[in-house]
Amino acid sequence: MSHAYDLAAIVAERSETLFGRLLSESEFRVSLLAGGTRQVYRAVPSDASLTAVVVKARSPRRGDDPQAVAVQTEHEFAVHSAAYAAMVARGRTDHGVPRPLLALPNRGLLFMEQATGQPVKQWMQGEWIRPSAFAGNGERIRRCGEWLYTFAVRVPQLSTSDAAEGLLAAGRVNHHVYCLIGLTGASLVERMLEQVRRRLNAYRIGADIATGIERALTAALRGLEGGRDPQGNVHGKYSIADVLISPERILAIDLEQTARGSLYLDPAYFLYQLLMITRWQPIGSQRRATVLRRAFLSARAPAGELDESTLDAFIAYYLVNSLRPGGGVAGLTARARASHWLDAWVRRS
């Protein structure tokens, strides 16, 4: 474990809050789920009647301000708690987020119940050779749109502290997904065009292709303000890997970037990911992506609340990142998918 403290000892000390009764270290097992600058652990009690707990642990890198880690942890817990309460208040017991249990900001620790369900990404992978998954994925994707409609439109605006918002905004600047959160109107368009130009240049995309993409994006986003850019709760990275689905419920995880922003961001990123994952289908991949898009939007925008030409501009923005060179076979197929979609979009524009 990379932390100076003993996580198992902390879990045991706080076990009454986490599991509903005191447990000794011998009565649960802690294992690492994901590494990196923010590790994710799971504490599983030996008593099967108790729910497992997930622990997110932020590790300050050299030179980082420990106070920043505390603010980030406190923010994520506050947003998670508010989202959990708001989703419950809407009366949609089938829509939710994992129940937050405890935060220890000074240690960078966030505890929550382990979410049930399988990531949508797992259902989508290789669906063409799994008839049961293929048949049910249209409904699963529709439910993803329904969850996002509840979160973005029906749930009251979730608030963030000024300290957290300032810290998060500074950290988002160079991230092609996060850097758009919190922007609207001309500022949003300017940031999108700036990011697209930078990437097209870095990836050495031909001048004619790059110019066509920039012109199409500029035209599609012209006048994006007021009613054309609805604002609300933004998950931040509504990903097929971060949406867990079961027959009873659908939950989204990783709300650390949740804030107010353009309501085109989350659906566009989700649809971009569907375009990418369906590229592996040997036959009819474009048609499959179109079918899944319709299923998603039938629940996310049931009354046509999202303008599809504007939505396509946001999808195009995310697809530009998939033009980057390298990445072996996965990178090659991603570039081919992105190039094909962008070329057709530019011609339509």
CATH number of the CATH domain containing 24? 3.30.200.20
* pLDDT(321) > 50: yes
Q: Say if residue 150 is in the same domain as residue 41.
A: no
Instruction: Please say whether the beta carbons of 343 and 349 come within 8 A.
Output: no
- Three-class SS of residue 158? coil
* pLDDT(2) > 50: no
pLDDT of 64 reads 64
Residue 251 carries which side chain, given as an amino acid letter?
L
pLDDT band at 63 (very low <50, low <70, confident <90, very high): low
Instruction: Please say whether the beta carbons of 186 and 222 come within 8 A.
Output: no
Element counts in the chain: helices (H) and strands (E): 12, 11
Q: Does residue 1 lie within any of the structural domains?
A: no
pLDDT of 61 reads 58
pLDDT band at 84 (very low <50, low <70, confident <90, very high): very high
Mean of pLDDT over the chain: 91
pLDDT band at 8 (very low <50, low <70, confident <90, very high): very high
Q: What's the gap between Cα 271 and its chain centre?
A: 12
* pLDDT(331) > 90: yes
Last-in-domain residue among 73, 90, 113: 113
Q: Say if residue 141 is in the same domain as residue 248.
A: yes
Q: Does residue 2 lie within any of the structural domains?
A: no
pLDDT tens string 235-251 = 999 999 999 999 999 99
Last-in-domain residue among 59, 82, 113: 113
Tell me the percentage of the chain whose pLDDT exceeds 90.
73
**Mean pLDDT across the stretch 85-100?**
90
Count how many domains the chain has: 2
| CATH code of the domain containing 202 | 3.90.1200
Q: Say if residue 300 is in the same domain as residue 164.
A: yes
* pLDDT(36) > 80: no
pLDDT of 42 reads 95
pLDDT of 60 reads 57
pLDDT of 305 reads 93
Last-in-domain residue among 82, 113, 144: 113
Beta strand ranges found along the chain (DSSP E):
28-34, 38-45, 53-58, 95-96, 100-104, 109-113, 118-119, 231-234, 243-245, 250-252, 259-262
Least confident of 32-46, 235-249, 280-294, 334-348: 32-46
Q: Say if residue 87 is in the same domain as residue 177.
A: no
Assign 3-class secondary structure to 48-104: CCCCCEEEEEECCCCCCCHHHHHHHHHHHHHHHHHHHHHHHHCCCCCEECCCEEEEE
Q: What's the gap between Cα 178 and its chain centre?
A: 10
d(CA 235, CA 152): 8
- DSSP sequence for 294-323: HHHHHHHSTT--S-HHHHHHHHHHHHHGGG
Instruction: Please say whether the beta carbons of 24 and 12 come within 8 A.
Output: yes
**Mean pLDDT across the stretch 250-254?**
93
Choose between 21 and 63: higher pLDDT: 21
pLDDT tens string 120-176 = 999 999 898 888 889 999 999 999 999 999 999 999 888 877 776 777 777 777 788
